Amino acid sequence: MEWICEKLDDLEDISKSMFSQYPSNKKWVFFGEMGVGKTTLIKYLCKSLDVIDVVKSPTFSIVNEYISKNNETVYHFDFYRLEDESEAFDLGYESYFFSNHFCFIEWPSKIKNIIPDDFLKVEITVEQEKRIIRIL
């Protein structure tokens, strides 16, 4: 599956389409270079989930927890600053990853050995000033 994002406003429809295409997936990992729009797409996904909290990059906190209007919990991870996978163990990643809550994970390559195979893999690239969002 692939979506083309020509302007920021496209992300609202794209995020809704992603949920309609993959309704049973609650664990998503996002691949892409720095600045490609991973956090921005996650903001729109959270908007589609009716998250009431401010969605921002958890670069320094590693994980942010958001709550939706339906009192559903959403976890947003940014593993960019991890030096070693063992830091994810220290964080207690299992309690998040194996919960029934949404998990959106940026920089999964930092913890590649502990990402389950069934997590939805999303890749964002920039081609000719357009963002291409693909499911791998």
pTM for the complete prediction? 0.95
pLDDT in tens, 63-122: 999 999 999 999 999 999 999 999 999 999 999 999 999 999 999 999 999 999 999 999
d(CA 89, CA 71): 27
> Of all helices (H) and strands (E), which one includes residue 87?
helix 86-91
- Whether the CB-CB separation of 105 and 31 falls below 8 Å is answered with no
**In angstroms, how far is the first alpha carbon of the chain from the final one?**
8
Residue 60: its pLDDT value, please? Answer: 84
Q: Which two tokens stand for residue 81?
A: 């600053």
Name the nearest CA neighbour of 9 among 52, 44, 39.
44
Residue 59: pLDDT band by 50, 70, 90 thresholds?
confident
Residue 85: its pLDDT value, please? Answer: 93
Q: Which two tokens stand for residue 36?
A: 């490609």
Report percent pLDDT > 90 for the chain: 95
Question: Helix or strand or coil: residue 106?
Answer: strand
Q: What is the mean pLDDT of residues 25-51?
A: 97
Q: Is the dihedral of CA 34, 94, 28, 19 positive or negative?
A: negative
Q: Class for domain 2-135, per CATH?
A: alpha beta
Residue 12: its pLDDT value, please? Answer: 94
